[in-house]
Amino acid sequence: MFLLLRNSVRVFTGLFVLLLTAWASAPATAQEWAIKMFDSTSHDFQTVPRGAKAVHRFKIKNLYEEDAHISGVRSSCGCTTPQIVKPDLKTFEVGEIVAEFNTRAFMGYKSATVTVNFDKPFPAEVQLQVSGFIRSDVVLTPGSIDLGSVDFGAGAEKKISVTYAGRNDWKIVDAKTANPHFEVELLPKERGGGRVAYEMIVRLLKDAPPGYIKDQLILVTNDDKGTEMPVDIEGRVISAFTVSPASLFMGALQPGQKVTKQLVVRGKKPFRITSIECPDGNFSIEPPTESKPVHLVPVVYTAGDKPGKIAQQISIFTDQGDEAVAKCTAYAQVIELPGTAETAPVEKTPTEAGTSGP
């Protein structure tokens, strides 16, 4: 009787340990599918001036067949404000979690954990790490260089003040950027009594190409530590012609399946589309013949025989000169026909793949 009871206790203990192990490992397994959608899970702002705009965008791409939904986001510290961009993500759609460092209300080294919650296709939680050092002795006004919307070929100029409190021999020795379409001029304004001030003029050159500008200017100082400080530059150069959507998703198609989507091409005055080019012969695009300020362009795509992802640039040429070209990128996913070998071009979430879900 005692032996039977002891064996029963051993069996119960073994089952309890097994269940406890499974329970402990399930959350980690459950999070993996969500973590895989992020391009990174940490960002170091390094050293930033007080008042500077310090923003990082964590990219998210839905890799799965099911729709994903971000149900919420929170930060462990007031030094970082998180925001969801596009909470609903279909297959291959891209969203962002924006983390902004509060460089006006906080100083010194700060770090925060940004927690992102998903409720679709399954509950999951992803933690993002943000850190940086906010200098109290260097102040930017305004906190970034916002160029706004600039017409192509017009160029732009913005001014920003940099002030320092400390020693009289403090200097900005260089202001550098890898973007060849910018030039920077530094004008000393004040030096003495432990205060140094500069006016910085940032110019966007007229040959800057159309598109969004998301760049950084690096201020190099003669400090012993923290000699480099980033300054964000944002804006958009507006082409004489725009095409929307800029990214055209044709869908997930079986071989031979045909689909038609539509592009909208706009100009500031009436124009004629002279030709449309796309390297992939599976795309069929006929240019309209009339001259008007807005054109609706049907794009017909017939899926090929080879499964996989398709990405092709569409170039739309007009009668307004060589520079008057509108461009967009067309995407498609060719999937296997039922009963053929699986190539898994689109991932499955843990439950479908046979692993433990949340």
**What burial class does residue 206 get, using C-beta atoms within 10 Å of its C-beta: 0-12 exposed, 13-18 middle, 19+ buried?**
middle
Domain containing 58 equals 12-135
Assess whether 225 and 201 both reside in one domain.
yes
pLDDT greater than 60 at residue 14: no
- Which of 238, 271, 304 is a domain's end point? 238
| Mean pLDDT lowest among 11-25, 273-287, 290-304, 308-322 | 11-25
Residues 233 and 249 reside in one and the same domain: no
Domain endpoint, select from 218, 238, 258:
238
Tens of pLDDT, residues 27-74? 445 589 999 999 999 999 999 999 999 999 999 999 998 999 999 999
Write out pLDDT tens, residues 251-305. Answer: 999 999 999 999 999 888 898 999 999 999 899 998 888 999 999 999 999 999 8
- 212 and 251 belong to one structural domain: no
- Residue 284 domain-assigned (yes or no): yes
Interval 213-250: pLDDT, tens: 999 999 999 988 778 999 999 999 887 788 899 889 99
Query: Does residue 333 carry a pLDDT above 50?
Result: yes
Q: What's the structural domain count of the chain?
A: 3
Domain-located, residue 297: yes
Residue 356 lies in a domain: no
Residue 16 sits in the same domain as residue 43: yes
Q: What does the pLDDT read at residue 263?
A: 93
Question: What pLDDT, on a 0 to 100 scale, did the predictor assign at position 9?
Answer: 41
Of the candidates 44, 96, 48, 107, the one whose C-alpha atom is nearest the C-alpha of residue 73 is 96
60 and 130 share one domain: yes
With beta carbons less than 8 A apart as the criterion, state whether 310 and 253 touch: no
Residue 54 in domain: yes
In a domain, residue 345? The reply is no
Cβ neighbours of residue 340 closer than 8 Å, sequence gap 6 or more: none
Q: What is the pLDDT of residue 356?
A: 44
Q: What pLDDT shows up at residue 224?
A: 82
30: phi > 0 → left, psi -120 to 50 → alpha, else beta; which?
A: alpha
Among the ranges given (113-122, 133-142, 152-161, 206-215), the one the predictor scored with the smallest mean pLDDT? 206-215
Do both 229 and 263 map to the same domain?
Answer: no
Question: The domain that contains 249 carries what CATH number?
Answer: 2.60.40.10
- The reply to whether 339 falls in a domain is no
Q: Domain for residue 196, yes or no?
A: yes
Task: State residue 240's pLDDT score.
Answer: 76
Least confident of 33-47, 115-129, 157-171, 208-222: 208-222
